[in-house]
Copies of this chain bind each other. A is one copy, B any other.
Amino acid sequence: MDNFVLHNPTKILFGKNTIPLIGKETVAFGNNALLVYGKNSIKDNGIYQRVVSSLTAAGAQIHEHPGVQSNPLLDHVHDGIAKCRKHNCDVICAVGGGSVIDEAKAISAGVLVDHDVWKFLTGKKSIKQTLPLTTVLTIAASGSESNSGMVITHDFKKQKFGFANRHLFPKTSILDPETTFSVPSDYTAFGAIDTLSHILEFYLTTQVVDSSVQDSLMEGLVKNVVMNTDRCLVDPTDYDARANLMWSASLALNGLVSAGLGKVMFPMHLVEHSLSALYDVPHGAGLAITITGWMRYCARTAPFRISKLGKNAFGIEAGSVTESAHATTDYLLEWFRRIAAPTCLEDIGAGKESIPYIAANALPQAKVWRMREISEKVIEEILHCCLK
């Protein structure tokens, strides 16, 4: 096991009827709140009204910043920063999924500096302080509600960059699984694939020789993600399945399972960020393609970890280590198909001829993330494994 620091100060309030707590949790940090959210879905399902009512009852003034889209755009972050300054907001409350929370994080950091917030994303500036952030999560996927990461897309440069800093942990996050009852099947599946990819990035790229404790935790989460997604797709109001999925998503990327794994890489996210920057495909959908590609790539070059995962998470034992690795890859590929996710570049309108274009887009992010092992050649090889 490698050395690590683990310090996750986010307070999680998990369960039924926890939304009414958001007011008290938010005004503990400030009374003048920027309320960040996406489209109309939270108005349709009543979450917006419950949040506003709780904030108002607690004495908060609310300034709205709606319209965050999937793969949140830098320009919209700039708008949020301007609103935050205009109204002198002292706290931010994000209501939504990973995109909304990520944009709120970018605003919370950007509002306190003179330079463009994009400089944080490109590693040119370091975050020293942020406005306090509270969140109400509405989809199980990114883990942003309990971690220090954010991903923002540059409108013109067509770059989707991720970044983490300890000041970006939310103060409090409310996770009510019932908020996800109305998430449609496709986005339930995409969210689950996002969660799965977080675990697989760690599990399949760690170079640590003995990660026995972390492996057990990750294998358990992978098993739970697949099992509970299937349950949610059968019955979207299965509370325990939604709860298991939501909690698995937070645990996948809150620092716990990666603690002690040493330097890990994010090849699946690296390539996917280019897919969603260039083809406007939802993040989780793009990931189903890059997970498949990366696992095929690894099943040839480093099959042991994939076969261990297959055995301990799914009970797959298929002859040699390489055969088990391929069987595990196929098992997940079949699962992606069953839950109606794309599994190859052709499914999103790309193809062999697009590979150099996608790879060129991904390379700058690989450099910012300092993933030297993932050269343009490796990216192209992974993309070849993403073909039908």
A interface vs B, CB < 8 Å? 1-16, 18, 177, 209-210, 212-213, 216-217, 219-221, 223-224, 227-228, 240, 243-244, 247-248, 251, 256, 259-260
Contact = CB atoms under 8 A, between A and B. Distances in A.
3 interchain residue pairs of minimum CB distance: A3-B15, A216-B220, A210-B240
A13 B177 CA distance: 32
A269 to B, nearest CB: 23
Contacts of A12: 4-7, 259
B7 A14 contact: no
A151 to B, nearest CB: 24
Contact of A5 (B13, B213, B228): B13
Contacts of A224: 212-213, 216
Interface centre among A9, A12, A212, A213 (most CB of B within 10 A): A213
B220 A1 contact: no
A6 B14 CA distance: 8
A217 to B, nearest CB: 6
Contact of A15 (B2, B18, B240, B243): B2
Contacts of A210: 240, 243-244
A224 B10 CA distance: 27
Nearest to A227: B212
A1 B245 CA distance: 11
Contact of A213 (B1, B8, B221): B221
A5 B13 CA distance: 5
A4 B9 contact: no
Contacts of A213: 220-221, 224, 244, 247-248, 251
